[in-house]
Chains A and B, each alone.
Chain A
Amino acid sequence: MIAATGQGNLFIELGAILLILAVVGRIAGRIGLPPIPLYLASGLLLGEGSTFSLEASAGFIRTCADIGVLLLLLMLGLEYTPDELRTGLTTGWPAGLVDLVANSAPGLIAGLLLGWGPVAAVVLGGVTYISSSGIIARQLFDLDRMANRETPTVLTVLVFEDLVMAIYLPVIGILLVGGDAGEAATAIAVAVGVVSAALVIASRHSHHINRALDTGSSELLLLGILGFTLLVGGLAEQVQVSGAVAAFLVGVALADRVAERGREVLLPIRDVFGGLFFVYFGLQIDPATLPPVLLPALLLATVGAGTKTATGWWAARRAGIGPRGRLRAGFSLIPRGEFSIVIAGLAVASGVDKDFGPLATAYVLILAVVGSVAMRFADRVPIRAPRPVARTGAAG
């Protein structure tokens, strides 16, 4: 009897949350915003400090959130072919390095100034560094900018960031459990080795992998990819490698047709678990803890927006893009989102300063919204552009 009631409560809570996500996502679409910040906000309003107590579903949602992270990264890996990653690395490294230094510095400095210690500062640096590939790619599609000449610059920077994440996540994993610099260095070496090996294997043996997984049935493909990713992710966690990074590498290793169909069948699943991931993060934050960190968050966000705009501007100028395109590229890098929350989630789970979570949440909320709006209105900003050369026309 008690079990039956518990089950019922679980369903009610879970169902309510998913319905709220659906409604909220629709609102987001209507007002031209990405859904991620609104998912976060929903979690904020529903979780700690709210009138609702989500006891029955808390554990389940937590598991869903963990799966959500794996799926987010699997899909990210599926987006890229090993060739694209290699090209991104070889052509995009100058802009990528500038991006890394300019945008992790604010977080690093802020973490140290707030007295959170070097580890938390490094993690905060990661939160401020990484832009949201999910939000940005979606906005570029919605704003019809895929064909713009500055877009490859933006996408290449994002590729570089994702590669850096593959190394960064295992490192902070070690740091957050109290490892020292030596262990962290080992972690970097191992991560670089594993990532490189995975890229090489993926390029060489893509047709084998293709054949192994390429069944006619979508159902079998879905089960296969999902099972394989969870398995690899779990095994990775056992040997202290980030499961999320393992999922990313699985995505990269899957090639061509398998990747294409994989993206199709996994997208709905990712949306469900990914949505729950954002909600879960918000659930853990008590909205009452936001106002105290609002000022630092605003400050950090302003700096973060500035450094990203400067990065994009510089990278686009190097690529020979005109002033308008440079501004579009700069604004396109502003949105923060899923990755920042993943990193902050790792920190919160291992018990950093109580203000870390709220600060990261506020930061991401502000920049997800501001960044999306800035991207949309980039062309309205008055810029001195070179005068057009008059076309010799009819009268002559």
Chain B
Amino acid sequence: MEVFETPLPGVGSRYEFTTAAGERVGVVARRDRRREFVVYDELDRDACRASVELTGEEAAVVVELLGGTKLTERLSDLRHEVEGLAIEWVTMAPNIGLTGRMIGEARIRTATGASVVAVIRQGTSIPGPGPELSFEAGDVVLVIGAVDSVRAARELLTG
């Protein structure tokens, strides 16, 4: 699918392409971040049959509705870039697992190979917690490592 870009001096840029169904479709990206989505006419191929003007926000909503946020796609891309890397958020429940134990005591890395890289406690994040930090109920623990390691760490943390 080839997208053609044409600069509109003083306005922004225009992008257009032909869909598989044979319709010619375009987007005018204005410099004030507004967008215009247009469908070109069949008879007069230079004019637009229909056009919709969208604010920056509305354009973002349409992108989401049309299928998949860029953000989640990018995150999953990131994960794929490091083959076999897993990231997990584990919530500590009261009185089970490693709740009440210190990180150093628990020896998560030695036992499973996964690392505890941050703990979020009551809205504040503690990045890179030392071995003397104790897990409390309600903590959200960020664990990173190989897929199996992270699974094992989760089991260890939550008992």
Query: Which residues of A are at the interface with B, using a C-beta cutoff of 8 A?
Result: 79-80, 84-85, 87-88, 133, 137, 144-152, 155-156, 158-159, 260, 321-322, 324-325, 328, 379, 385, 388, 391
Contact residues in B for A155 (Cβ distance below 8 Å): 8-11
B28, A147: Cβ atoms closer than 8 Å: yes
Contact residues in B for A85 (Cβ distance below 8 Å): 9
Asked whether any CB of chain A lies closer than 8 Å to the CB of B14, the reply is yes
Q: Report Cα–Cα, A87/B10, bound state, in Å.
A: 12
Contact residues in B for A87 (Cβ distance below 8 Å): 7, 9
Contact residues in B for A379 (Cβ distance below 8 Å): 44, 47
Closest-CB distance, B69 to chain A (whole angstroms) = 26
Q: How many residues of B contact A (CB 8 A)?
A: 24
A147, B9: Cβ atoms closer than 8 Å: no
List 4 extra interface pairs beyond A322-B45, A324-B46, A325-B47, CB under 8 A: A84-B10, A147-B48, A322-B46, A379-B44
Contact residues in B for A79 (Cβ distance below 8 Å): 9-10
With A144-B51, A260-B31 as known contacts, state yes or no: A149 contacts B45, CB within 8 Å: yes
Comparing B35-43, B97-105, B137-145, B149-157, the segment that makes contact with chain A is B35-43
Q: Which one of B8, B22, B31, B36 contacts A152 once the chains associate, using CB atoms below 8 Å?
A: B8
Write the chain B residue with the least CB distance to A156: B9
Query: Which residues of B are at the interface with A, using a C-beta cutoff of 8 A?
Result: 6-11, 14, 22, 26, 28, 30-32, 36, 38, 40, 42-48, 51
Q: Which one of B9, B28, B36, B42 contacts A84 once the chains associate, using CB atoms below 8 Å?
A: B9
Contact residues in A for B31 (Cβ distance below 8 Å): 260
Q: Report Cα–Cα, A147/B38, bound state, in Å.
A: 7
Q: Report Cα–Cα, A133/B9, bound state, in Å.
A: 11
Closest-CB distance, B100 to chain A (whole angstroms) = 48
What would be 29 A-B contacts, judged by CB atoms less than 8 Å apart? Answer: A79-B9, A84-B7, A84-B9, A85-B9, A88-B9, A144-B48, A145-B48, A146-B8, A146-B11, A147-B26, A147-B28, A147-B51, A148-B48, A149-B40, A149-B46, A149-B47, A150-B46, A151-B8, A152-B8, A152-B14, A155-B8, A260-B31, A321-B46, A322-B44, A322-B46, A325-B46, A328-B47, A379-B47, A385-B43
> What 5 A-B pairs are tightest by C-beta distance, nearest first?
A325-B46, A149-B46, A84-B9, A147-B38, A79-B10
Closest-CB distance, A328 to chain B (whole angstroms) = 8
Contact residues in B for A147 (Cβ distance below 8 Å): 14, 26, 28, 36, 38, 48, 51
Q: Report Cα–Cα, A324/B41, bound state, in Å.
A: 12
Q: Report Cα–Cα, A152/B32, bound state, in Å.
A: 18
B47, A148: Cβ atoms closer than 8 Å: yes
Contact residues in A for B51 (Cβ distance below 8 Å): 144, 147
Contact residues in A for B30 (Cβ distance below 8 Å): 146
Contact residues in A for B28 (Cβ distance below 8 Å): 146-147
Q: Report Cα–Cα, A388/B44, bound state, in Å.
A: 9
Q: Report Cα–Cα, A324/B14, bound state, in Å.
A: 20
Q: Report Cα–Cα, A379/B48, bound state, in Å.
A: 12
Write the chain B residue with the least CB distance to A260: B31
Contact residues in A for B45 (Cβ distance below 8 Å): 149, 322
Closest-CB distance, B5 to chain A (whole angstroms) = 11
Contact residues in A for B46 (Cβ distance below 8 Å): 148-150, 321-322, 324-325, 328
Q: Report Cα–Cα, A347/B69, bound state, in Å.
A: 59
Closest-CB distance, B25 to chain A (whole angstroms) = 10
Contact residues in A for B26 (Cβ distance below 8 Å): 147
Closest-CB distance, A92 to chain B (whole angstroms) = 9
- Chain A CB within 10 Å, residue with most, of B8, B30, B32: B8
Closest-CB distance, B48 to chain A (whole angstroms) = 5
Write the chain A residue with the least CB distance to B42: A388
Write the chain B residue with the least CB distance to A140: B11
Write the chain B residue with the least CB distance to A322: B46
Q: Report Cα–Cα, A147/B50, bound state, in Å.
A: 10
Q: Report Cα–Cα, A345/B22, bound state, in Å.
A: 53
Q: Report Cα–Cα, A321/B40, bound state, in Å.
A: 13
Q: Report Cα–Cα, A324/B8, bound state, in Å.
A: 20
Contact residues in A for B48 (Cβ distance below 8 Å): 144-145, 147-148
Write the chain A residue with the least CB distance to B24: A149
Contact residues in A for B42 (Cβ distance below 8 Å): 388, 391
Contact residues in A for B32 (Cβ distance below 8 Å): 260
Write the chain A residue with the least CB distance to B15: A147
Q: Report Cα–Cα, A2/B122, bound state, in Å.
A: 73
Q: Report Cα–Cα, A159/B11, bound state, in Å.
A: 12
- Chain B CB within 10 Å, residue with most, of A144, A156, A321: A144
A324, B10: Cβ atoms closer than 8 Å: no
Q: Which one of A145, A152, A321 contacts B6 once the chains associate, using CB atoms below 8 Å?
A: A152
With A147-B28, A147-B36, A147-B51 as known contacts, state yes or no: A80 contacts B44, CB within 8 Å: no
Q: Report Cα–Cα, A84/B42, bound state, in Å.
A: 30
Q: Report Cα–Cα, A149/B40, bound state, in Å.
A: 9
Closest-CB distance, B150 to chain A (whole angstroms) = 42
Q: Which one of A80, A150, A321, A322 contacts B9 once the chains associate, using CB atoms below 8 Å?
A: A80
Write the chain B residue with the least CB distance to A88: B9
Write the chain B residue with the least CB distance to A76: B10
